[in-house]
Amino acid sequence: MRPLRGVPLNEKSPLTDTPAWRALLAHHKTASTLHMVELFNKDPQRFKRYSLTFEDILFDYSKNRITDETLSLLFDLTRQAKVEDLRDRMFSGEKINNTEGRAVLHTALRNRSNQPVFVDDENVMPKINAELEKMRGFSDKVRSGQWIGYAGLPITHIVNIGIGGSDLGPSMICRALQPYAHHSLTVDFVSNIDASHIDQILIKLRPETTLFVISSKTFTTQETITNANTAKAWFLNGAGRVTHNDISKHFVAVSTNETAVKQFGIDPQNMFRFWDWVGGRYSLWSAIGLSSVLYLGMDNFIALLEGAHAMDQHFCNEPLETNIPVILAMLGVWYGNFFGAESSAVLPYDHNLRLLPAYLEQADMESNGKSVDKKGRQINYSTGKIIWGAEGINGQHAFYQLLHQGTRLIPTDFIASVNSHQCNPTHCSILASNFLAQTEALMRGRTLEETREQLAAADIELHKAEKRLPHMTFQGNQPSNSIVLKKLTPRTLGSLIAMYEHKIFVQGAVWNLNSYDQWGVELGKNLTKKILEEIETNKNLHQHDSSTQGLLDWFRTHRTEEVKNNIE
Ligand code: F6P
């Protein structure tokens, strides 16, 4: 047998062998039998009691399988896990990322109060502010047409090359805030090592008007550096009379690694910096946001930071009982750890938020997909849920069937905007009705009796109707949160993202794991290097299982034939 992951937990579990956990377990026995329809019927004030507003955002959590007792026990668990203490330690710059010995300070990047924040006795605010100023200066030049490319033309196309946190955040922001974008700039994002990705983008562009933003915290990520080299070759080969000096007009870097940036051939003057205390998946607030700044303008980026800062203040100052990220997190714990929910869906009803689910997949699953606690001890409870989702309206015609009538409990977050930037009242009203109808349907379901009545009203013959009944009833009782923005603006988006970041933080704290490392991505990276060597040399250099070896052989054989065919 393969040894267990982590040191076996011999002593009592600091989470599950506790009064708060046991009380929740006992409470779950009765709470799980309650139907939300009954809870709403019993309490006409339920929405009022279980909804909160934060600035221009409404958070409705009344359609959850909870009572006052549930919430009170969940807050007991939060207190027992000392979440507030860890929160304060994170905000103050303590090195809570214990496995990497780093502070976790994405919140300092948006600390618009400018109160000092110390890492190793250094106040980091001056360097954050200096970098923001540098981003403003550069983006103003590009956006105003003062930044001139090698052929004397202004920049019209931005290409961000990055992956993971160096791609998902900025691309999500650019798409979400597209109505605020510069009218004559386009932005594209290249992440995939599959050359189809970069080729499909480069084919549309002209080297003389393109600016590449190479975004990589480490500046060693294979996909990013390979794509950046391809972009550089495209620029040098395709641009006619260019020299290496012209690279500085068309390539900038965002990174923590100056040496690697220089090695790549980018002048450190064209480098925008951030620091090791910013996790990749939390870096959109840093210079990693440069492509969004170029596209949207610095003032909009600052508004995004301000929205996030406002949510930080809420998270730090609001009591647990009215603290939106805490409630969101603890509802997730309730379903994941007590109902056994495996996944949770994010369903935006705003086309501009279509990339939010992918962004949250990384933010949440790379943070809390852990099976040992902070001390390296094996965990005996489930941790990060599978986060998934897509635009709600499209999902209704695709996967919602399973939400409504499947066998699994899948808690959902519906996110909608009251006012669209594309003000077409007919579209707006239909979209809003769909969002509202879905949360209601998931909660209410449809009983046998209601279904029978409906079939009778539709004049369906009795014997046919009776056969259809079980297929047409809906159990309901599927929990959902509704997060409704008055409008998707830079500020509300900043608050929304920060809300999710803090939700992830709270869950990680309760589960007693380190949300800020990601060792799980290492093994695949290491094996890739070995297999690449075998593909490039066409030699078997390492031991593999028979499946991997078989796949490698098949790939090599067919690849060779393709190449042969191409040559012929
Ligand atoms: O491999 C995972 C990861 O390290 C993510 O955490 C990160 O966001 C991404 O790769 C990109 O890393 P980098 O910004 O260093 O290129």
pLDDT digit string, tens, across residues 418-428: 999 987 999 99
- For residue 563, pLDDT over 80 is answered with no
5 forms beta bridges with none
DSSP string, 284-343: GGTGGGHHHHHHH-HHHHHHHHHHHHHHHHHHHHS-GGG-HHHHHHHHHHIIIIIS---E
What does residue 118 show for φ and ψ, rounded to 5 degrees? Answer: -105, 135
pLDDT digit string, tens, across residues 55-104: 999 999 999 999 999 999 999 999 999 999 999 999 999 999 999 999 99
Q: Is 518 in the pocket of ligand 1 (CB under 6 A)?
A: yes
Q: Is 289 in the pocket of ligand 1 (CB under 6 A)?
A: no
- For residue 562, pLDDT over 70 is answered with no
Provide the pLDDT for residue 243.
Answer: 82
Other CB atoms closer than 10 Å to residue 314's CB: what's the count?
21
Quote the DSSP letter at residue 406: S
Among the atoms of ligand 1, which is closest to the Cα of residue 163?
11
Q: Which of 508, 477, 409 is nearest to 65 (CA)?
A: 477
In contact, 53 and 485? CB cutoff 8 Å: no
What CA–CA distance (Å, rounded) separates 261 from 255? 8
Provide the pLDDT for residue 467.
Answer: 93
Q: Which helix (H) or strand (E) holds 255?
A: strand 251-255
What pLDDT band is residue 5 in, cutting at 50, 70 and 90? low
Mean pLDDT of 423-435: 94
Mean pLDDT of 542-550: 97
Least confident of 291-300, 369-378, 450-459, 502-511: 450-459
In contact, 145 and 347? CB cutoff 8 Å: no
Provide the pLDDT for residue 386.
Answer: 98
CA 413–ligand 1 middle distance (angstroms): 26
Q: Is 278 in the pocket of ligand 1 (CB under 6 A)?
A: no
**Share of residues in the chain with pLDDT > 70 (%):** 96
Q: Is 210 in the pocket of ligand 1 (CB under 6 A)?
A: no
What CA–CA distance (Å, rounded) separates 282 from 478? 31
Q: Who contacts 145 (Cβ-Cβ below 8 Å, separation ≥6)?
A: 154, 155
Provide the pLDDT for residue 460.
Answer: 86
CA 83–ligand 1 middle distance (angstroms): 27
Ligand 1: residue of 99, 102, 166 to mutate (most ligand atoms within 8 A of CB) is 166
Pairing of strands 122-123, 118-119: antiparallel
Tokens read off for 309:
């800062």
For ligand 1, atom 9, the nearest C-alpha belongs to 164
In contact, 347 and 434? CB cutoff 8 Å: no
Provide the pLDDT for residue 568.
Answer: 39
What pLDDT band is residue 463 in, cutting at 50, 70 and 90? confident
CA 167–ligand 1 middle distance (angstroms): 9
In contact, 417 and 487? CB cutoff 8 Å: yes
pLDDT digit string, tens, across residues 139-192: 999 999 999 999 999 999 999 999 999 999 999 999 999 999 999 999 999 999
Q: Which helix (H) or strand (E) holds 245?
A: none
- For residue 395, pLDDT over 80 is answered with yes
In contact, 355 and 313? CB cutoff 8 Å: no
Pairing of strands 412-419, 210-215: unpaired
Q: Is 291 in the pocket of ligand 1 (CB under 6 A)?
A: no
Tokens read off for 473:
């009833």
Among the atoms of ligand 1, which is closest to the Cα of residue 280?
8
What is the number of residues in the chain?
Answer: 568
Provide the pLDDT for residue 567.
Answer: 40
What CA–CA distance (Å, rounded) separates 356 from 550? 38
Provide the pLDDT for residue 292.
Answer: 98
Q: Who contacts 481 (Cβ-Cβ below 8 Å, separation ≥6)?
A: 59, 60, 61, 63, 64, 328, 331, 411, 412, 413, 414
- For residue 560, pLDDT over 70 is answered with no
CA 163–ligand 1 middle distance (angstroms): 6
Provide the pLDDT for residue 245.
Answer: 86
What pLDDT band is residue 10 in, cutting at 50, 70 and 90? low
The set of catalytic residues is: 366, 397, 525
Task: Fill in the amino acid letter for 45.
Answer: Q
CA 476–ligand 1 middle distance (angstroms): 40
Provide the pLDDT for residue 465.
Answer: 87
What CA–CA distance (Å, rounded) separates 73 from 326? 13
- CA 540 to chain CA centroid, nearest Å: 39
Provide the pLDDT for residue 561.
Answer: 63
Ligand 1: residue of 218, 255, 367, 523 to mutate (most ligand atoms within 8 A of CB) is 218
- Average pLDDT value over all residues in the chain: 95
What the chain holds in terms of domains, given with CATH numbers, is 14-80+319-443+480-516 (3.40.50.10490), 142-303 (3.40.50.10490), 445-477 (no CATH), 525-567 (no CATH)
pLDDT digit string, tens, across residues 467-484: 999 999 999 999 999 999
Quote the DSSP letter at residue 502: H
Helix boundaries (H) for 185-250: 195-202, 222-238, 247-250
CA 473–ligand 1 middle distance (angstroms): 46
Provide the pLDDT for residue 564.
Answer: 44
Among the atoms of ligand 1, which is closest to the Cα of residue 221?
16
Pairing of strands 186-190, 210-215: unpaired
Q: Is 492 in the pocket of ligand 1 (CB under 6 A)?
A: no
Q: Is 226 in the pocket of ligand 1 (CB under 6 A)?
A: no
Provide the pLDDT for residue 2.
Answer: 56
Among the atoms of ligand 1, which is closest to the Cα of residue 165?
8
The better pLDDT of the pair 243, 106 is held by 106
Q: Say what the pTM is.
A: 0.96
Q: Who contacts 15 (Cβ-Cβ below 8 Å, separation ≥6)?
A: 21, 81, 381, 510, 511, 512
The long-range contacts involving 174-177, CB below 8 angstroms and separated by at least 24 positions, are 174/291, 174/292, 174/295, 174/296, 175/352, 175/354, 175/355, 176/352, 176/353, 176/355, 176/356, 176/488, 176/493, 177/292, 177/296, 177/300, 177/304, 177/352, 177/488, 177/489, 177/490, 177/493
Q: Who contacts 267 (Cβ-Cβ below 8 Å, separation ≥6)?
A: 248
Q: What distance separates the 2 farthest-apart alpha carbons in the chain? A: 82
Q: Is 207 in the pocket of ligand 1 (CB under 6 A)?
A: no
Quote the DSSP letter at residue 2: P
CA 150–ligand 1 middle distance (angstroms): 31
Q: Is 445 in the pocket of ligand 1 (CB under 6 A)?
A: no
Provide the pLDDT for residue 58.
Answer: 98
Provide the pLDDT for residue 14.
Answer: 86
- For residue 4, pLDDT over 80 is answered with no
Among the atoms of ligand 1, which is closest to the Cα of residue 288?
14
pLDDT digit string, tens, across residues 294-328: 999 999 999 999 999 999 999 999 999 999 999 99
Q: Is 166 in the pocket of ligand 1 (CB under 6 A)?
A: yes
- For residue 130, pLDDT over 60 is answered with yes
CA 486–ligand 1 middle distance (angstroms): 33
SS3 call for 505:
helix
Mean pLDDT of 235-262: 91
Q: Which of 350, 355, 362, 345 is nearest to 398 (CA)?
A: 345
In contact, 190 and 159? CB cutoff 8 Å: yes
